[in-house]
């Protein structure tokens, strides 16, 4: 048994009795900046290499938001080199999460668009607070951008081809109850029961022998993981050429303006 | 904004305010003859190339039938050359529909077996009139023939592998309510609300930026489209050798006899 | 029309009017020993080659159990050669069942874990007795072992990726009602109606022309069947090296001890 508390600027990590909890706390909206993702990957790697740690629960320390997804400022008005570094980090985060040997549980205690939804999708189990104000989905199309193929593959593996096709084309953000209805989240609970439920689910999954569970998980996810590994550099080049287009930059600037106006 | 009315023998086309409506009117049952398909493809190509047109609604001008599917007379007692020409046209229709950059909505106002069901399956969204007398499905097996692999791929993408396996083997025609239950159609409406609903759905899909929606749609459908493109000639040869078998010809003749008796 | 009764030690076979019934009767739990599987494959091959036989119903002659799955004693403390022979037989059974040209119906009249569930999954249709004491699932992970990729492929084809991922990782045994809810079985019936229902379903499937139904079935299952055929020897080697591990042998011995204690 181990117990450790690691506190970073963005990720608060508590680890005891074989299960770690990663709390996102990068106000105001836990956006996935390059710094956040880097710290996230380092924390995850530590846990992965710690043989006493068998599971990790992801949740938010910021009220009403799980994670707002990729930080748009990292994709706007930056250099080609920066885009490459950022996208490689996003890929790395996904590869580590989707391929994790640990049991991963998302305790979604707020809205979770785009990259926030992706984090939840990579987990073994998704529990969401039963609040109609919280929504979740891969809404990239709403911003005029396109989720990469590995976001799509992860989504299809959870909700199936038809639901994914419709939801991705419409850039839908699904209220919690709707997300639960078609399996984007596995379970809804009142906010005050969330951590208790996450711990119970974790215990259920940890009751299985690690090696059998890990081999099974790997068997289920290998095809999709391998696809990105095989096309990683190509995917980075695609991202750079897409995001560098003036029309896309304009779309992102407009979206950020809209967000600012919404706040004030 | 554009407004145009094109009227052919089989396809009535109205196009205004960015959305076209294609009404099938080839009585008695809108069967997909070579002539029909040819005209259909030409109309579709025109719309696709018309930058003012962003969406198309498919519906029927013939009461009680959306489309009865491929015209069996084109597959019975004709020359090898004719079979090749006909099958290439069917492939072309599917490639254009499934790969369309436009938003495509099927407003299914009647029964829709076989190739009629395929047209609906290629659309982005399917609305069907809530009438238990109207049914939809890929019922080829009932006729003693087999849906080609790209009909099957399209079907699996909509309803999943299990439902497709069972429905294709049984050649099932599903009453509207059943089709809705397992996702073969997305929504049921009373007949008098169909066009209004189709327009509302279209508006919802057109609210998204075209380029993001189109790239997303292409990402979802590329694997299945590429498969036919890669095996197109082989698929034509398979069709010819299958349909030329005396046993298949006999099955089709019997089916046509049965249809004639049913009518009289 | 043919009528034949073949009675072996493990498999009771009745065949008349085009439909055979295979009753498993290897008490106490119909475990799939090498002998059982060998006889099963021989019976199946006979039926497959008998042109008067168009369908087969699988059910159990042992109360409360359909089949307990692969016989663990075949995987414990035996020679490498034995493991190879056993695994090749298991593969053979699956290849014959999943690729059968006959209509196959599972009449699941008892619990059906692991390999027992696999037999049901290969069928065209699954009917289960509506008894909350009967459960079904691929629970290999509970034993510390891993279902091979073709068990997984068969499962995904029936229940979809998400349900399969969760169920396989947890090694879940689903009570009949739950199994029905997510499509692992197609229908629940009271025990006294099981054979009647199986016959009715069989009649429905046999109403279709054999050649169209068979070609359709083959089209749906070919990709998954081909994968094992292409990797058969590799899969045997994987099985041998996995099962020969001391840690796995220990897990299996513990599981057998637990079963023995449960009984007494």
Which of the four pLDDT bands, split at 50, 70 and 90, describes residue B9? Answer: low
pLDDT value of position C2: 33
pLDDT digits (tens, 9 = 90+) for A93-112: 999 999 999 999 999 999 99
What does the DSSP 8-state code read for residue A182? T
Mutate which of B204, B209, B217, B221 to disrupt the A interface (most A C-beta within 10 Å)? B209
Judged against a pLDDT cut of 80, whether residue C21 lies above it is answered with yes
CA angle A231, A234, A235 (to 5 degrees): 80
CB contact under 8 A, B147 and C216: yes
Q: How far is C68 from C29, CA to CA, in rounded Å? A: 6
> CA of B103 to nearest chain A CA: how many angstroms apart?
10
**Residues within 8 A of B (CB atoms), C 111-150 only:** 124-125
Q: How far is B249 from B242, CA to CA, in rounded Å? A: 9
pLDDT value of position A155: 98
Domains assigned to chain A: 3-191+202-263 (3.90.226.10)
pLDDT value of position C251: 86
Chain B residues touching residue C217 (CB < 8 angstroms): 165, 169
Q: In what order do the strands lie in the sheet with C19-24?
A: C3-7, C11-16, C19-24, C55-60, C103-108, C125-129, C187-189
Q: How far is A70 from B242, CA to CA, in rounded Å? A: 52
Interval B163-167 mean pLDDT: 98
**Residues within 8 A of C (CB atoms), A 170-209 only:** 183, 186, 204-205, 208-209
Comparing CB atoms, the residue among A124, A208, A220 nearest residue C171 is A208
Contact, B137 vs B167, CB < 8 A?
yes
Interval C99-124 mean pLDDT: 98
Cross-strand pairs, B174: B136
What does the DSSP 8-state code read for residue C15? E
Comparing CB atoms, the residue among A124, A156, A213 nearest residue C141 is A213
The structure tokens listed for B9 are 């023998």
pLDDT value of position C1: 29
- Among the listed residues A2, A26, A23, A20, the one whose alpha carbon sits nearest the alpha carbon of residue A12: A23
Judged against a pLDDT cut of 50, whether residue C47 lies above it is answered with yes
Q: Which of C139, C143, C184, C252 is catalytic?
A: C139
Chain C residues touching residue A185 (CB < 8 angstroms): none
The structure tokens listed for C122 are 């290969």
Is A39 assigned a catalytic role? no
Is C140 assigned a catalytic role? yes
Interval B103-115 mean pLDDT: 98
SS3 state at C74: helix
- Among the listed residues C70, C161, C171, C175, the one whose alpha carbon sits nearest the alpha carbon of residue C119: C70
Q: Radius of gyration (Cα) for chain C, nearest Å?
A: 18
Which of the four pLDDT bands, split at 50, 70 and 90, describes residue C16? Answer: low
CB contact under 8 A, C160 and B161: yes
Q: What is the mean pLDDT of chain C?
A: 93
Q: Which residue of B has its CA nearest to C206?
A: B170
Q: Which of A34, A70, A173, A228 is catalytic?
A: A70
Q: Radius of gyration (Cα) for chain A, nearest Å?
A: 18
> CA of C225 to nearest chain A CA: how many angstroms apart?
17
Is residue B5 within 8 angstroms of chain A, CB to CB? no
Comparing CB atoms, the residue among A159, A186, A220 nearest residue C168 is A220
CB contact under 8 A, B212 and A164: no
What are the average pLDDT values for consecutive 10-residue runs of chain A, which has 264 residues? 44 75 94 96 94 95 97 96 98 98 98 98 98 98 95 98 98 98 98 97 96 97 98 98 94 87 77
CB contact under 8 A, C158 and B160: no
Go through A146-166 and write b for each residue having 16 or more CB atoms within 10 A of its CB, e for each that does not: bbbbbbbbbbbbbbbbbbbbb
CB contact under 8 A, C209 and B251: yes
**Residues within 8 A of A (CB atoms), B 49-108 only:** none
Interval B71-88 mean pLDDT: 97
Q: Which of B32, B34, B70, B228 is catalytic?
A: B70
Chain B residues touching residue C215 (CB < 8 angstroms): 146
CB contact under 8 A, B208 and A165: no
Q: Which residue of B has its CA nearest to C102?
A: B169
Decide: pTM greater than 0.90.
yes
CB contact under 8 A, C208 and B161: no
Judged against a pLDDT cut of 70, whether residue C104 lies above it is answered with yes
Contact, C80 vs C238, CB < 8 A?
no
The structure tokens listed for C112 are 């059906």
Is residue C245 within 8 angstroms of chain A, CB to CB? no
> CA of C235 to nearest chain A CA: how many angstroms apart?
13
CB contact under 8 A, B209 and A144: yes
pLDDT value of position A6: 45
For chain A, the distance separating the N- and C-terminal CA atoms, rounded to the nearest angstrom, is: 48
Q: In what order do the strands lie in the sheet with A135-137?
A: A64-65, A110-113, A135-137, A174-175
Q: How far is A242 from A83, CA to CA, in rounded Å? A: 11
The structure tokens listed for A195 are 């951590």
Chain C residues touching residue A208 (CB < 8 angstroms): 141-142, 169-171
> CA of B22 to nearest chain C CA: how many angstroms apart?
32
CB contact under 8 A, A161 and B212: no
Q: Which residue of A has its CA nearest to B156?
A: A161
Interval C141-155 mean pLDDT: 96
> CA of C250 to nearest chain A CA: how many angstroms apart?
13
pLDDT value of position C169: 98
pLDDT digits (tens, 9 = 90+) for A202-236: 999 999 999 999 999 999 999 999 999 999 999 99
Contact, C39 vs C7, CB < 8 A?
no
Q: Which of A116, A118, A137, A140 is catalytic?
A: A140
Is B144 assigned a catalytic role? no
Q: Which of C39, C140, C173, C194 is catalytic?
A: C140
* Residue with tokens 């609604």, as numbered in its chain: B57
Chain C residues touching residue B161 (CB < 8 angstroms): 156-158, 160, 220
Query: In chain A, how many H helices and how many E strands?
Result: 10, 13
Chain A residues touching residue C138 (CB < 8 angstroms): none
Chains touching C (at least 3 CB pairs under 8 A) are A, B
Q: Which of B13, B18, B140, B168 is catalytic?
A: B140
CB contact under 8 A, A169 and B216: yes
Among A45-54, B165-174, B183-192, name the one with the lowest average pLDDT.
Answer: A45-54
pLDDT value of position C13: 67
CB contact under 8 A, C251 and A125: no
Cross-strand pairs, B130: none
CB contact under 8 A, C160 and B162: yes
Q: Which of A115, A116, A137, A171 is catalytic?
A: A115
pLDDT value of position C3: 34
> CA of B25 to nearest chain C CA: how many angstroms apart?
31
Q: How far is A110 from A121, CA to CA, in rounded Å? A: 15
H/E stretch holding C89: helix C80-98
Compute the Cα dihedral for A180, A185, A186, A188 and give only its sign.
Answer: negative
ipTM of the complex: 0.94
Is B115 assigned a catalytic role? yes
Q: How many CB pairs under 8 A join A and C?
A: 58
Comparing CB atoms, the residue among A160, A211, A216 nearest residue C169 is A216
Q: How far is A22 from A9, CA to CA, in rounded Å? A: 12
Judged against a pLDDT cut of 50, whether residue B1 lies above it is answered with no
Let me know if A136 is exposed, middle or buried by CB neighbors in 10 A (0-12, 13-18, 19+): buried
Comparing CB atoms, the residue among B145, B152, B162 nearest residue C158 is B162
Q: Radius of gyration (Cα) for chain B, nearest Å?
A: 18
Q: How far is A152 from B255, CA to CA, in rounded Å? A: 43
Judged against a pLDDT cut of 90, whether residue C264 lies above it is answered with no
pLDDT value of position B10: 67
CB contact under 8 A, A208 and C161: no
Q: Which of B69, B115, B116, B137 is catalytic?
A: B115
Q: In what order do the strands lie in the sheet with B103-108?
A: B3-7, B11-16, B19-24, B55-60, B103-108, B125-129, B187-189
CB contact under 8 A, A212 and C170: no
Half-sphere exposure of B247 (CA within 13 A, CB side): 8
CB contact under 8 A, A149 and B219: yes
pLDDT digits (tens, 9 = 90+) for C23-45: 999 999 999 999 999 999 999 99
Q: How far is B19 from A3, CA to CA, in rounded Å? A: 62
Judged against a pLDDT cut of 90, whether residue C255 lies above it is answered with no
Judged against a pLDDT cut of 90, whether residue C69 lies above it is answered with yes
């Amino acid at each position: 048994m181990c117990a450790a508390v690691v506190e970073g600027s963005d990720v608060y990590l508590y680890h005891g009795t074989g299960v770690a909890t990663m709390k996102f706390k990068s106000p105001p909206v836990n956006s996935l900046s390059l710094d956040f993702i880097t710290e996230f990957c380092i924390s995850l790697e530590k846990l992965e290499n710690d043989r006493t740690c068998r599971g990790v629960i992801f949740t938010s320390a910021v009220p009403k938001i799980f994670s707002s997804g990729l930080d748009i400022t990292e994709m706007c008005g930056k250099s080609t080199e920066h885009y490459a570094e950022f996208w490689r980090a996003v890929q790395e985060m996904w590869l580590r999460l989707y391929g994790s040997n640990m049991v991963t549980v998302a305790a979604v205690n707020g809205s979770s668009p785009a990259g926030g939804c992706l984090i939840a999708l990579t987990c073994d189990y998704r529990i969401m607070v039963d609040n109609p104000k919280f929504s979740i989905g891969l809404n990239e199309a709403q911003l005029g951008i396109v989720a990469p193929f590995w976001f799509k593959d992860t989504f299809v593996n959870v909700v199936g081809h038809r639901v994914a096709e419709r939801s991705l084309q419409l850039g839908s953000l699904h209220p919690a109850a709707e997300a639960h209805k078609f399996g984007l989240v596995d379970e809804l609970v009142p906010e005050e029961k969330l951590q208790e439920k996450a711990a119970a689910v974790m215990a259920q999954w940890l009751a299985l022998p690690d090696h059998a569970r890990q081999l099974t998980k790997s068997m289920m996810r290998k095809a999709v993981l391998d696809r990105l590994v095989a096309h990683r550099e190509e995917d980075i080049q695609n991202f750079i050429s897409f995001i560098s287009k003036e029309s896309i930059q304009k779309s992102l600037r407009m979206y950020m303006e809209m967000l600012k106006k919404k706040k004030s």
